[in-house]
Structure 1
């Protein structure tokens, strides 16, 4: 089991939309997340110095993360979902420089 944490910004004017989307997330997207060996997936929101940030956490139980992420990225329903959620997010500079939304966070502590 590998744990992943990621961070991105959230546009303040899109916060309510983002919450509503996730309050009624699409079953097809949830199935794809599970099919790609992702479990225990959460997204948290926090305001810091007047800016909104999202922190995601999930556990990956598969054996080929890159292939599973490609499978997810190729899924038409997931692509449609991202067209709804991506405009809400405000990537941090490192992610934006790579054309990505989420910045990967380094795990510095874990306790079972």
Structure 2
């Protein structure tokens, strides 16, 4: 995901989840690998949540705050982390990207679909 706004902001993303992988996806997120969590923090991401909707088909919605000033560089550092790459290989096989031409989290167009924030109230 590239953006002209490189500074702090809230981000929402979505992706389909394969129905046969719901339990496995939930289970792996109960025990996220510590190195993955550390890289997320080191990439200036805070307040990160992933939600599951089962209708009309299984779909995930992620919400987080980016608090840094160099989003693209922070995401490049995350993508270069071998442990994160291994995590993405595991979770990508459970998902179906809504983005045309997407091949996985580590390369190509954004794997998760991006959203536009149209309302926020603090």
Same fold (TM over 0.5): yes
Please tell me whether residue 80 in structure 1 is matched to residue 96 in structure 2.
Answer: no
Question: Which of the numbers 5, 19, 40 marks the counterpart of 2:12?
Answer: 5
- Where structure 2 has 5 or more consecutive residues not aligned to the other structure, the ranges are 1-7, 104-109
Question: Which of the numbers 52, 63, 85 marks the counterpart of 1:45?
Answer: 52
Q: Which has the higher strand share?
A: 1
Residue 96 of structure 1 deviates from its aligned partner by 3.4
Normalized against structure 2, the TM-score is what? 0.86
Q: Which has the higher helix share?
A: 1
Q: Deviating runs (4+, > 3 A) in structure 1?
A: none
- Which structure has the higher relative contact order (CA within 8 Å, separation 6+)? 1
Deviations 1:54-108, CA, capped at 9 Å, x for gaps: 000000010100000000000001001111100001111xx13244320001100
Could you say what the CA RMSD is over the residues aligned between the two structures, in angstroms? 1.0
- Where structure 1 has 5 or more consecutive residues not aligned to the other structure, the ranges are none
Q: How many equivalent pairs are there? A: 109
Residue 40 of structure 1 deviates from its aligned partner by 0.2
Aligned residue in 2 for 1:22: 29
Deviations 1:41-60, CA, capped at 9 Å, x for gaps: 000000122x1000000000
Question: Which of the numbers 50, 66, 77 marks the counterpart of 2:72?
Answer: 66
